[in-house]
Each structure stands twice: as C-alpha cells, then as structure tokens.
Amino acid sequence: MSISLRLTLWFSTAFIFGYFVFGIVMYGELSYSLAAGRDKTLLRRADRAISLLKSCGIGSAKCAQGFDAFASGTPEGNLVHVLDEHGKQVYPVTSDARDTFPWPANIASQDRTYAKVQYDGSPFRVLSEPTIIGDAKYHVVIGGQLRDNRVLVNQFTVGLLWAAPILLIFSAAIGYFLSTRALKPVAKLISSFRSISIGNLSRRLPSIQSGDELEALTETCNDMLSRLELAVGQITRFTADASHELRSPITYIYTQSEYALKNLPLDEESTECFSEILRECEEATDLLTDMLMLARCDSGHSGMVFTRTDLKGVLSDVYRKAIPLAEGKRHRITFETSRNEPAWIMGDAPSLRRLFWIMLDNAIKYTPAGGQINVRLQMNGNEAKVDIQDNGIGIPQESLSSIFDRFYRVDKARNSSEGSGLGLSIAKWISDMHRGDLSVKSFENIGSTFQVSFGTISTNL
C-alpha cells in the first residue's frame, strides 16, 4: 500500500474517530442543555404561579379565576396544581375526572424536587416547588412535556449519522489529494534513483526547493551519491591498475614456464608442475582480463564501437567455434534460425561474440557428457531472441536472482567446474549496452535456458 493511501486511511480514521467523539460530546451537551432549559422553564412557571397566589390570596374567588386563567395559558393546560402541606389539592378547585396524569408519590415533600414520568406514551418532567403563603405551606406542582426535546435530540442524532459517510468520503478525498500532492516530489526522487546505477553515479537527484524534510533528504542523498561516486571511482581505478600491473608478472611466469617445458630437460614431476603453472597462469590471465573489462565498464569507458552488425552471422561464428569443444564432451549441439536472411542491428561485433560465447561456454561446461545443447535465433517483426538451451545440471531456484552478480557461483557449479564467477556479469553488461534483455529459466537436474532479446532489428538495415 502506498504512503498516500496509508496517510489517507490514517487521516480518515482519525477524522471519523474525532467526529464520533464530537458527536457523543455534542449529544450529551444538547441533552443536558435541553433538560436544564426545561427545568428553568418549569421553575419560571412555578414562580409566576406563586406570585399570582401571593398577590390575590388563596381561597378567594378572584384567585381561583386567576389561577384557572394562568393554568389554561400554559402549553400543558391542567398540569399546574397547588397542594397544601398535607398533599391535598387546593387549585384547581374542581378536579377533572379525565385527569389521569401520574403525579409522583413524593410530590408534597419539603424540598424542591424534579421527577420524570410517562404519560400517554410521552415523557414528562414534573417540578414540585415548596412555598409559604401567609402562614401556610403549599406546593406548586407543574408538569411539562419532554417530547420536543426528544424529537430535537433524535433529529440531531440522525443528522450526525447521515453526515458521517458524506464527511468521511469528503475527508478521504481531500486527504488523498493533499497526501498525493505532498508526496509528488517523492515520486520524482524514486524515478531519479532508479535511473542511477554504478555506471552513472555522476547523476544527481533533482533539487527540491521546498524548505522541508524533502529538501534535506535530497541534499543528503546527493551528498551520499558524491561519496559513492568517489569510492567507486577509487575502487575502479585500483581494480584497473591492479589488473594491469599483475598482467606483467603473470605473463613473465607463463613465458618462463613455457620456455622450461620446451627447452629444458625435465623429469616427469617437474613437467607436471610447470604444466600446472601454465594452466593457473592462463586462468589468472582470463580473470584479470575480465576484471579489467568490468573496471572499464564501471568507469563508463566500454570501448565498444557500434556499427551495422549481422546478429545471425555473429551467432553462427560463435556456434562454429563451440562445436569442437562440445564434441570433446560428446554433446549434441544444434543451431536453428527462423529466417535465412541476415538480422542487422547496431552493435559491437566483438562484444556480441563474447556475450554468445559466455552463454554457450556455460551450457557446455555445466552439461554432463552426452547432453543436448540447442542454439536458436528467432526473429519476429522488429525483435530478435537468442536462446541457448541445455539439459545440464540446472540452477537452484533460490540462486536465479543472483546468477548475474559478480563473483557469484552456485555451489553445485563450483564443485564441478572452474570459473571466476564474472562471465555472466560481463554477459549482462554487454546485453545492457546493446539495450538487450538477458534472462534465464532453469530447473535443477533438468536444464537451463538463457535468452537474450534485442528490441530493434532490421533485415535490410
């Protein structure tokens, strides 16, 4: 999952969590505010009723009429009662038989009390307010419906739930847009990083003038590339110088050993010893040649000269050169091509010969006596593929990803044959220089198929 998607997920999760916390807090605050507002409303009605009773005097006809007018003016109508200290109803003077409101049992307590009751399927809030009028104690009892409060709270809850997915989608879209925009320079850095290899360490990442961590990261990476370029350059120069300097003493040893074998009277043991020295000098010379070639490759001086080259002709030359070596190990070797005409490409013929020789030499080297080796050139449109297939010892699957690394050798191959482990690295480099694609498919004890494809060819270049 990309960083943009992860940031969007985290941002959306944090947003929706904060949104629900906000909703819960606001739900509690709204419920509390509405309940407190209802209590204050009931208290104000009770204070008005008390003021009315004190002004007109309890027991007079005028007071009874005024109380009835006051009670009928409230939204709940008959839910305003006046009780004496024993709980006996004083006002309204006459009781309505249809009045079945469930007044609380402790309605005539000595202190102000609030209670909740259910009446006709709706919630009600009941206030009992004690007061003294004249020398007597009374209780003004007022009820008020809570249905409007519940409706408002329910509407608020429904609104929160409906708004949640809309806001989540909106926040996710905004979060993804912002994260993608913020990480857009990172995509450029990744592209630049992928274009930098050991052969072009002189390249640098594009400068990002953002004044933030990305600018610091770019500068740090460019500094690191400078240090890597310097270190690789020193290693390359050392490898090239060492390879060049070691060629002279090895050549001297080879010459002296060859002279001794041809001109001096030697016993059998000395002859074998000098022959072994010659073989080791030849292998050391090959290794130094490979190391020198890779050093030139790393320094960017390949020495290749790209001209019009017949791919089929080069492959045929290498095939003919490999026939005696294959026959010496009793291998059956064949060469097939899908067309008879030449396949012209822009390439360096000596390098291509070495590429195909490395592939064929490996097939011969790691195929047991009596094996089969097939060389195929397939041309399809503007693409050419060279396959070299054998039924040899194969390569373990866990080694396929490292087979083109320098000095890498599979254990089974190391025990059965000699080699420096640089051949396939050189083959890969030559393929890359020709914009080819070198790949391998292999299975242990079944065989291997090395394939190099060239993307642009022409039969009449």
CATH number for the domain including 234?
Answer: 1.10.287.130
Answer left, alpha or beta for residue 120, where phi above 0 means left and psi between -120 and 50 means alpha: left
- What per-residue confidence (pLDDT) applies to 239? 66
**Residue 415's pLDDT is what?**
46
Tell me what the mean pLDDT of segment 375-404 comes to: 86
- Comparing 116-125, 211-220, 229-238, 326-335, the range with the smallest average pLDDT is 229-238
Mean pLDDT (whole number) for 196-201: 71
pLDDT of residue 296: 66
Q: How far apart are CA 204 and CA 193, in angstroms?
A: 9
Do both 316 and 446 map to the same domain?
Answer: yes
Please list the residues that pair with 440 across neighbouring strands: 450
**Same domain flag for 336 and 440:** yes
Same domain, 251 and 148: no
For residues 374 and 388, the answer to whether their CB atoms sit within 8 Å is yes
Residue 88: per-residue pLDDT:
81
Can you tell me the distance from the alpha carbon of 76 to that of 357, in angstroms, rounded to the nearest whole number? 105
Whether residue 62 is predicted with pLDDT greater than 50 in this model: the reply is yes
Domain for residue 379, yes or no?
Answer: yes
Element containing residue 62 per DSSP (H, E)? helix 61-72
Q: What percent of the chain has pLDDT over 90?
A: 8
Tokens 């990309």 locate to 2
CATH number of the domain bearing residue 429: 3.30.565.10
State the pTM of this model.
0.50
How much is the average pLDDT of 66-75? 77
* End-of-domain residue from the set 299, 316, 338: 299
Looking at the structure, do residues 321 and 435 belong to the same domain, yes or no? yes
Final residue before a domain boundary, out of 265, 299, 333: 299
Residues 255 and 218 in one domain: yes
The Cα 167–Cα 169 span in angstroms is 5
- Within 10 angstroms of residue 174's Cβ, the number of other Cβ atoms is 14
Q: What is the pLDDT of residues 397-450, one digit of tens each?
A: 888 888 887 777 665 444 444 556 678 888 888 888 888 889 999 888 888 999
Please report whether residue 164 resides in a domain.
no
Could you tell me if residue 202 is inside a domain?
no
**Residue 381 is assigned to a structural domain of this protein:** yes
Task: For the chain, report the end-to-end CA distance as a whole number of angstroms.
Answer: 47
Q: Regarding predicted confidence, which is higher, 89 or 440?
A: 440
Task: Give residue 107's pLDDT.
Answer: 63
Mean pLDDT of the chain: 81
Is there a domain that residue 87 lies in?
yes
Q: Which residue has the higher pLDDT, 120 or 316?
A: 316
CA triplet 326, 367, 377: central angle to 5 degrees?
65
Q: How far apart are CA 424 and CA 442, in angstroms?
A: 15
Residues 8 and 121 placed together within one structural domain of the fold: yes
Does a structural domain hold residue 280?
Answer: yes
User: So what's the pLDDT on residue 160?
Assistant: 86
> Is the domain of 283 the same as that of 312?
no
For helices 213-263 and 268-299, the axis angle rounded to 10 degrees is 150
Average pLDDT over residues 183-187: 78
Task: Tell me the residue length of the chain.
Answer: 461
* Full DSSP string of 400-457: GGGTTSTT---HHHHHH----S-HHHHHHHHHHHTTEEEEEEEETTTEEEEEEEES--
pLDDT band at 388 (very low <50, low <70, confident <90, very high): very high
Which CATH number is 68's domain given? 3.30.450.20
312 and 429 housed in the same domain: yes
Q: Is residue 185, in this structure, part of any structural domain at all?
A: no
What mean pLDDT comes out for the span 340-361? Answer: 87
Confidence of residue 396 (pLDDT cuts 50, 70, 90): confident
DSSP 3-34: HHHHHHHHHHHHHHHHHHHHHHHHHHHHHHHH
The answer, yes or no, to whether residue 221 has pLDDT greater than 80, is yes
Q: Indicate the residue among 152, 173, 195 that finishes a domain.
A: 152
- Do residues 292 and 329 both lie within one domain? no
Q: Which domain holds residue 88?
A: 3-152
Is 273 found in the same domain as 321?
no
**Do residues 321 and 439 both lie within one domain?**
yes
Residues 23 and 84 in one domain: yes
H helix intervals, 264-375: 268-299, 311-328, 349-365
Per-residue model confidence (pLDDT) at position 96:
61
- Is residue 312 pLDDT above 50, yes or no? yes
The mean per-residue pLDDT over the stretch 186-198 comes to 79
**pLDDT (mean) for 217-232:** 84
The total domain count for the chain is 3
- Whether residue 144 lies inside any domain: the answer is yes
